[in-house]
Amino acid sequence: MIRAVGSTARRIGSAGAARGSWVAVRGMATSGDLPPPAHEHSARIRPAEVGLGETAQHMFDIGGVFTNKPITMGPDATVYEALQLFVANNTDAVMIVNENQEVLGILSQRDYVRKVALLGKSSKATPTKDIMTTRANLLAAKQGDSLQKCMRLMLARDVRHLPVIADDEKLTGLLSIKDLIKCSMEQKDSMIKGLSKKALGSLNPE
């Protein structure tokens, strides 16, 4: 769905989420029912083996986690228009793209506070291109990147959003730290259930 602010902004957005994660499960058993030592299984467990199916196949990459239709604006839109999008869409970052949907930069609430509000500038008179983080300085991910890699990068560089950009520089999506935290929690719960079911099955063979 296209959403316009003036002639420069559009919404191309909804979010997805992935499930599943690796955790250790310990159980007690009688001497005759003890399963093989943990090291014999720890490197070989597959998602299908713990009953997670297709959901867990993407547990280590960001493919099903990031917002695949983020909010976008043109470089000549004003910061005031960006603020309107922040409020209307309950977000704190918009991607700045050209007419071909190639990434030019990102504009966040932090940019507004530091480069407009604290300097006493007018948001209505300031174009997004003047205060955005430009593509040359923009941290970005690719769709096949792992959740762990993205989380480490975001924490190390103290950023809350990571654009997902294709090889042709087209915007694929936007990953937020909130997305990663939510996914991590859901993955842990899902994997605990799967591994617990497998462990109980090995202790109580039919």
Helix residue ranges, H only, the chain: 79-89, 109-112, 128-131, 147-157, 177-203
Delimit the domains of the chain by residue range: 1-18+35-206
pLDDT at position 194 is 64
**Which residues lie across from 15 on neighbouring strands?**
67
DSSP strand pairing (71-73 vs 93-97): parallel
Please list the pLDDT of the chain residue by residue as tens digits (206 residues).
Answer: 434 444 444 444 443 433 333 223 333 333 344 344 333 333 333 334 434 444 444 445 566 666 668 899 999 999 999 999 999 999 999 999 999 999 999 999 999 999 999 999 999 999 999 999 999 999 998 888 888 888 888 889 999 898 989 889 999 888 888 877 777 676 666 666 666 666 666 555 55
Strands lying side by side in the sheet with 103-108: 9-11, 71-73, 93-97, 103-108, 133-134
Three-class DSSP category at 67: strand
pLDDT at position 15 is 39
H or E stretch including 72? strand 71-73
pLDDT at position 181 is 78
Q: What is the DSSP string of 150-201?
A: HHHHHHHHT-SEEEEE-TTSBEEEEEEHHHHHHHHHHHHHHHHHHHHHHHHH
Q: At what angle do helices 177-203 and 147-157 cross, to 10 degrees?
A: 140
CATH class of 1-18+35-206: alpha beta
Q: What's the maximum distance between 2 C-alpha atoms anywhere in the chain?
A: 77
pTM greater than 0.75? no
pLDDT at position 75 is 98
C-alpha distances in Å from residue 113, one per residue of 116, 117, 124, 159: 6, 5, 14, 15
